[in-house]
């Protein structure tokens, strides 16, 4: 709700600002967001970029009136947009429907200044089923193809957790796609008396965890 106040606090704490000039830029449009936007990117302690967006005419939000955060997106830079979208939709289910930009976006000064990265990009968006959070994939037109995929325990490595009604169904889809899990049994593992979980990695090295609760009891 108040980007300038938030950015001032972060600068006082010496948080690195990625955006050119160290100040917000104005975007006249952004996929999935209506109205003018002021935005800036900073970097967290593990090196991850974090985007802070202030929308001129923000839609109603479930956040408390005193909260300065009214929404969130999970954003991943990917190697191939269609491949990553298919991977997630296959595992999560057909209700995980992605919108894909029809062509290349960006290339103007505002987007270049925002990320301090020149070049055009394509984008895909989907609302995570059962959640108000949007998942956003970005593919840059020019990017390194032989990038290093992180190990699970590496600082800065991240994963997303999907709560499932039954991980056995997700496991069936994973095996049909030829995926292997992190577990020694190559299947769901009980991490509690009635909680099961497993991890798989997407084509870009990002980890996805699927968990259920109360479906089965640990033997």
Residue 137 pairs in a beta bridge with: 76, 124
| CATH annotation of 3-140 | 3.10.180
Q: Give the domain ranges of the chain.
A: 3-140, 159-213
Supply the pLDDT for residue 151. Answer: 82
The pLDDT score that the predictor gives to residue 7 is 95
Structural fold of domain 159-213: 2,3-Dihydroxybiphenyl 1,2-Dioxygenase; domain 1 (3.10.180)
Instruction: Walk along the chain (219 residues) and give the pLDDT tens digit of each residue.
Output: 789 999 999 999 999 999 999 999 999 888 888 888 999 999 999 888 999 999 887 666 666 667 777 788 899 999 999 999 999 999 999 999 999 998 998 878 999 999 998 889 999 999 999 988 899 999 999 888 888 888 888 887 889 999 999 999 999 999 999 999 999 999 999 999 999 999 999 999 999 999 999 999 999
Predicted structure pTM score: 0.86
Measured between alpha carbons, how far is 76 from 137 in angstroms, rounded to an integer? 5
Domain 3-140 and domain 159-213, same fold? Reply is yes
User: Shortest CA distance to 167 belongs to which of 196, 130, 192?
Assistant: 196
Can you give the pLDDT at residue 91?
Answer: 96
First and final CA of the chain: distance in angstroms? 49
| Residue 135 Cα distances to 98, 127, 169, angstroms | 9, 6, 22
Segment 106-125, tens digit of pLDDT: 878 999 999 998 889 999 99
pLDDT tens-digit series, residues 122-143: 999 999 999 888 999 999 998 8
- Buried (b) or exposed (e) across 145-163, using 16+ Cβ within 10 A? eeeeeeeeeeeeeeebebe
Alpha carbons 213 and 13: distance in angstroms, whole number = 40
What is the side-by-side strand order in the sheet with 49-55? 25-27, 37-43, 49-55
């Amino acid at each position: 709700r108040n980007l300038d106040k938030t950015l001032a606090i972060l600068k006082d704490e010496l948080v690195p600002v990625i955006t050119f000039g160290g100040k917000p830029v104005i975007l006249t449009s952004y996929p999935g967001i209506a109205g003018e936007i002021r935005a800036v990117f900073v970097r967290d302690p593990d090196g991850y970029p974090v985007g802070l967006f202030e929308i001129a005419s923000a839609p109603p939000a479930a956040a408390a009136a005193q909260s300065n955060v009214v929404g969130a997106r999970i954003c991943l830079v990917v190697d191939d947009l269609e491949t990553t979208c298919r991977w997630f939709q296959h595992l999560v289910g057909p209700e995980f429907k992605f919108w894909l930009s029809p062509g290349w976006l960006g290339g103007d000064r505002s987007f270049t200044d925002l990320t301090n990265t020149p070049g055009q990009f394509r984008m895909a968006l989907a609302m995570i089923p059962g959640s108000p959070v949007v998942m956003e994939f970005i593919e840059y037109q020019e990017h390194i193809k032989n990038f290093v995929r992180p190990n699970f325990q590496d600082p800065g490595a991240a994963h997303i957790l999907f709560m499932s009604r039954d991980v056995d169904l997700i496991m069936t889809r994973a095996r049909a796609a030829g995926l292997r899990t992190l577990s020694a049994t190559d299947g769901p593992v009980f991490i509690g008396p009635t909680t099961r979980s497993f991890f798989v990695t997407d084509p870009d090295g990002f980890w996805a965890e699927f968990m259920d609760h109360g479906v089965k009891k640990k033997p």
